[in-house]
Structure 1
Amino acid sequence: MAYYSGSAVDMAAVRSALVSACTSEGWSWDGSGEVLSKGVLYLRLRVVSGYLELLGRTSASAGDAPSVVRMGQLAATSISYPVAYEIFVFDWEVYVVINYSIDYYQWCAFGRSIIEGLPGSGMWLGATLEANNPTGISITGSDGVNTNNTITPAIFWATSIQVGSRNRNCYVHSGLDSEGWNLTISGGTSQVGITQLVPLIGLLPSAWNSEAVLLPVRCYKQRPSQKVSLVADLQHARYTRVDNYAPGQIINIGSDRWKIFPWYLKNTAARAGGSEGISHTGTFGWAIRYEGA
């Protein structure tokens, strides 16, 4: 694993740092097509109107995901530059976190699924935002439902979406049921999201020692006959609660070190988040495996 950090004066500089980190670790960059690639993974990286856009592909110029995912202004809160960036590059997973205005965080991530037998490329990706600028955030520990013009700024979290790409900030190219990037049943609007983790997320942090365990980040696709299939299981990221962790704190679990981040903005006064139009992510957060100095 390689870890990079620094400061960026705009989103173009964030992209440059990301491309440099990835190409130093075995990825290829096509500057004319703005495509980052490794093996069967292809990712178009563009800066558009101040947003860093990520578009998953199955080849250098085709097989696009239904829409882009992005980092940039969320609702009325603009990004204040310079931002501090951290880039975590593993063999087949890449994570980027930016920090600005002291307490605000955004992220993007992409990689290859370790689930065997997928007919698709197995590429997964996500970012804080979807293709449009939402009016606010919707994130809860019970469902993470996206409603109206809001976004759930956490990877594979939301259990409900609107038809089309409006609120979708995560994709996996599983290829199951000949549906490419789709995580729902054809024509449906519901995802599995964090349904299977709801009881555990609700119990964190521990009332006994005030710590929050790290929970697996997994993505499921709905299938016919009311079945679901696991399509992604991230190796180097975990869900957690950040009530008693400071953003950027490094914790040790056995021989592993993990760096803690809120999904967007930590708020202990409204730790359970909310279902529509809020401006924070309560105490919902995540941890990324850290092998820096």
Structure 2
Amino acid sequence: MAYYSGLCTSFQNLTDVLVEKCQAHGWTWRDEILSKDNLFVKISVKEQVESSFWGQHQGITLTGGTGKIGTELVNPSSRVRLGQTGIGYNVPPRFFPANYHLFIFVDEVYLVMKFDVDRFYHLTFGKSLFIKGTQGNGLWLSANACYYRASSSRLPETVYIGKTYGGSSGTHSSSAFAPFWNRSNWSDDWSNATICHGIGGVLWSSGTSRAYASFEPLIDRLPTAHFADSPLLPYNVYLERPENKMSLICQFANARFLRIDNHEPEQIITLGHERWIVFPFYRKDISVRDGTDGSGRSFDHTGTFGWAIRYEGA
């Protein structure tokens, strides 16, 4: 595992760091596409938003594929994006300078950007070892934002996340921020995570082939009155199947889910011989620990929902 941290001054600067470090650990960079074995990830960067229109996709965008022909991906996925989720009228972005944490493992890459004191974006991709014997290559992608931006928010961000729901379903909807939290009937480019599973004649997860994480019932029971810490739960991703069945199609090898009521962002915790660094999915708010209130309104935090990434830094 390789770990890097530092300061970035733009989305392009952050992308340059990501590409450089991935190349140093087995990835190939050509035609704006990172590739390794049968995984292909196209990266595009947009620094500025020219207008408040929801189609202005500021930030770093990822698109997955099963191959490449010239500069184009084969079987491209829907897109995910590190960047602002909503238009945020009258609230200018305060991104840079920003700090970053970059974790590169054999089959997974996690990039976390911290800005404006207590806010975090992420961009991640990896390979699921659960996908075998299908047309899917197991590539999964996630970022804090959908490719499109919600068009109705007056908040800095438009976050919609709860214990068993969250995410976007259309133009006025928000991102869950957390990977694979969206259970909505969303259309392409309106979710912040996708996976190439190839099950049932469908290649990529989508709003009609939904893949999402599930932590019930523990998500509602932690931390307890007798145990202040929250255990690190496996980050499992399930695919909806016919007859109300579910298939486990991915488990993050180097990230875990936890409630961060009693943990601070960027705190390092030690469990046996392993160390993990804690992050909120976006911004911690212990006063509204379960994220949104179920009314459909967007908020500017993710409660105490968070994750921990395996850490081997100094």
Which category describes the TM-score, using the shorter chain as reference length?
over 0.9
Q: Secondary structure of the residue that 1:121 maps to in structure 2?
A: coil
Q: Does 1:284 align with 2:305?
A: yes
- Counterpart AA for 2:162: T
Q: Does 1:95 align with 2:110?
A: yes
- Counterpart AA for 1:280: H
Task: Tell me if structure 2 keeps the 8 A contact 1:262–1:286.
Answer: yes
**Aligned position for 1:57:** 65
Counterpart-to-counterpart distance in 2, 1:220 and 1:79: 35
- Counterpart AA for 1:82: P
2:80 aligned residue (69, 78, 81)? 69
Name the % identity: 35
Task: Tell me if structure 1 keeps the 8 A contact 2:234–2:257.
Answer: yes
Counterpart-to-counterpart distance in 1, 2:28 and 2:182: 32
**Aligned position for 1:5:** 5
Q: Secondary structure of the residue that 2:226 maps to in structure 1?
A: coil
Q: Tell me the TM-score normalized by structure 2.
A: 0.86
Alpha-carbon shift at residue 193 of structure 1 (Å) = 2.4
**Aligned position for 1:223:** 241
- Residues 279 and 172 from structure 1, CA distance in 2 versus in 1: closer, same or farther, beyond 3 angstroms? same
Counterpart-to-counterpart distance in 1, 2:107 and 2:195: 14
- Residues 64 and 6 from structure 1, CA distance in 2 versus in 1: closer, same or farther, beyond 3 angstroms? farther
Q: Secondary structure of the residue that 2:217 maps to in structure 1?
A: helix
Alpha-carbon shift at residue 156 of structure 1 (Å) = 1.2
Task: Tell me if structure 2 keeps the 8 A contact 1:96–1:107.
Answer: yes
Counterpart-to-counterpart distance in 1, 2:192 and 2:36: 22
How many residues are aligned here? Answer: 285
- Counterpart AA for 2:182: A
CA offsets 1:184-213 (integer angstroms, 9 cap, x no match): 6xxx37x35234x12101111132121011
Q: Which runs of 4+ in 1 moved over 6 A?
A: none
Alpha-carbon shift at residue 157 of structure 1 (Å) = 1.6
**Aligned position for 2:264:** 246
Q: Say which is worse superposed, 43-52 or 143-152, in terms of deviation.
A: 143-152
Counterpart-to-counterpart distance in 2, 1:5 and 1:258: 15
Correspondence 1:130-279 to 2 at 5 A: 130-134=146-150, 135=153, 136-144=158-166, 146=168, 148-162=172-186, 164-183=187-206, 188=208, 191=210, 193-195=212-214, 197-274=215-292, 275=294, 276-279=297-300
Unaligned runs of 5+ in 2: 49-57
Counterpart-to-counterpart distance in 2, 1:17 and 1:219: 29
Q: Say which is worse superposed, 98-107 or 153-162, in terms of deviation.
A: 153-162
Counterpart-to-counterpart distance in 2, 1:250 and 1:256: 10
Alpha-carbon shift at residue 234 of structure 1 (Å) = 0.7
Unaligned runs of 5+ in 1: none
Counterpart-to-counterpart distance in 1, 2:101 and 2:283: 17
**Aligned position for 1:112:** 127
